[in-house]
Structure 1
Amino acid sequence: MSPERESTRDRTPVGATATTRPRVRLDQPRPPRRRLLPEWDPEAFGRLSERIARFLGTGRFIVWMTVVIIVWVLWNVFAPHDLRFDNYPFIFLTLMLSLQASYAAPLILLAQNRQDDRDRVNLEQDRKQNERSIADTEYLTREIAALRMNLGEVATRDWIRSELQDMLKELDDRRDGHREHGGGHGAHVVFPADHPRGRDADDR
């Protein structure tokens, strides 16, 4: 026996089988993993960012920010020295405005990204709707063309009127002919079916 097999045999614990090894249960969900970062709802966070961005883009925010800055400066200039919390050159005010700008820019970008996603979805839906409308229009066009082709073979009112006029004219001509040839044989028969002899004579 080779020394490699002996070393492997020595490392294998006695009585260790496949049943004693830990197995992953497929019929149970995995335990939740621990995350170092806090979890949040992306949809709720996106809605909040849109509200903040919408408020930052209004005149109300500009008015309130201007009022706060004016009160801040006046208080730190004319208030008693012991009550001032941000003396000239107002470093704390500059820090707060910088902090506000650093948060406002990503929030506005997030709101713009969400709006771009909605616009993309709307454009895709409009494109599909236009494709369906074009397909429906082409289908209706083919159906109308087929109906027009079929209507060309259907008897129209004008055609029936012209045929009836031709039949009446033919009957008038036939009646005039009967008057010329058989005016002395009693009443004239307009339709051959009313008189069997006349019908037989015409058929012959």
Structure 2
Amino acid sequence: MTTDRLDQPRELRRTLRPHYDPEAFGRLSERIARFLGTARFLVYMTVFVALWVIWNAVAPQGWKFDPYPFIFLTLMLSLQASYAAPLILLAQNRQDDRDRIQYEQDREAAERNQAEIEYLTREIAGLRLAINDVATRDYLRAELGRLLEEIRETGQAAEPGRPLKGAGQAAEPARPLKGSGRDAER
């Protein structure tokens, strides 16, 4: 006596339907669709149809298997087209799936790049603000030139740590670095 319990999974039964791998079938359909889109396939089909028509038009009466309206050839080409169209559509759907995944990956990469660009832009702006507070080479040259002129005018060299004195007055203290950078060059 078997009771159906909902808390336990059912045992799988073997079915009469054949098992197929959808991925393997998709790969096969892509290979066929890829071949159908080549010049080689067109050459093969042209040669096949030409030989079929020539054989059935020129061969002796007993050897002809598809007389003039070539109904069997039409059936063969229709059958080939009826299989080719779904295989091509299946391959196209698989390609669309791959393109969608690639698009998502590209979008994520673009978002990461945008975030990095924004971060670097903020860093550059911060560095520009910090550079305005640093004495530039031109500012230092101007200050040294001014001090050299003061030394030449007063005729005395300053001792380390002592300001220059000229005409009984202390030399001007050095200006703060507030005007450094681009403003000092003007």
TM-score (normalised: structure 1)? 0.68
Q: Which amino acid aligns with 2:42?
A: I
Deviations 1:107-165 (A, max 9, x none): 01011111111111122211111111111111111101100100100111111112212
Q: How does 1:12-31 map to 2 (within 5 A)?
A: 31=11
Change (3 A) 1:83 1:163: same
Q: Which amino acid aligns with 1:87?
A: P
For residues 4 and 36 of structure 2, the distance between their equivalents in structure 1, rounded to whole angstroms, comes to: 56
Which 5+ residue runs of structure 1 have no aligned equivalent? Answer: 1-15, 177-189
Q: How does 1:149-160 map to 2 (within 5 A)?
A: 149-160=129-140
For residues 123 and 22 of structure 1, the distance between their equivalents in structure 2, rounded to whole angstroms, comes to: 47
Change (3 A) 1:174 1:104: same
Change (3 A) 1:169 1:80: same
Which 5+ residue runs of structure 2 have no aligned equivalent? Answer: 171-186
Tell me what 2:153 maps to.
173
For residues 98 and 27 of structure 2, the distance between their equivalents in structure 1, rounded to whole angstroms, comes to: 13
TM-score (normalised: structure 2)? 0.74
For residues 82 and 75 of structure 1, the distance between their equivalents in structure 2, rounded to whole angstroms, comes to: 12
Q: Which has the higher helix share?
A: 1
Shift of 1:30: 5.6
Q: More displaced, 35-44 or 97-106?
A: 35-44
Tell me what 1:191 maps to.
158
> Could you list the runs of 4 or more consecutive aligned residues of structure 1 that deviate by over 4 angstroms after TM superposition?
20-26
Q: Which has the larger radius of gyration?
A: 1
Q: Which amino acid aligns with 1:66?
A: T
Tell me what 1:114 maps to.
94
**2:70 maps to 1:103:** no
More relative contact order, 1 or 2 (CA 8 Å, 6+ apart): 2
Identity of aligned residues (%): 61
Shift of 1:38: 2.1
Aligned to 2:20, which of 21, 29, 40?
40
Tell me what 1:141 maps to.
121
For residues 192 and 34 of structure 1, the distance between their equivalents in structure 2, rounded to whole angstroms, comes to: 103
Q: How does 1:31-70 map to 2 (within 5 A)?
A: 31-70=11-50
Q: More displaced, 33-42 or 113-122?
A: 33-42
Q: Paired residues, what number?
A: 164
Aligned-pair Cα RMSD in Å? 2.9
Change (3 A) 1:174 1:33: farther
Tell me what 1:3 maps to.
none
Shift of 1:24: 7.4
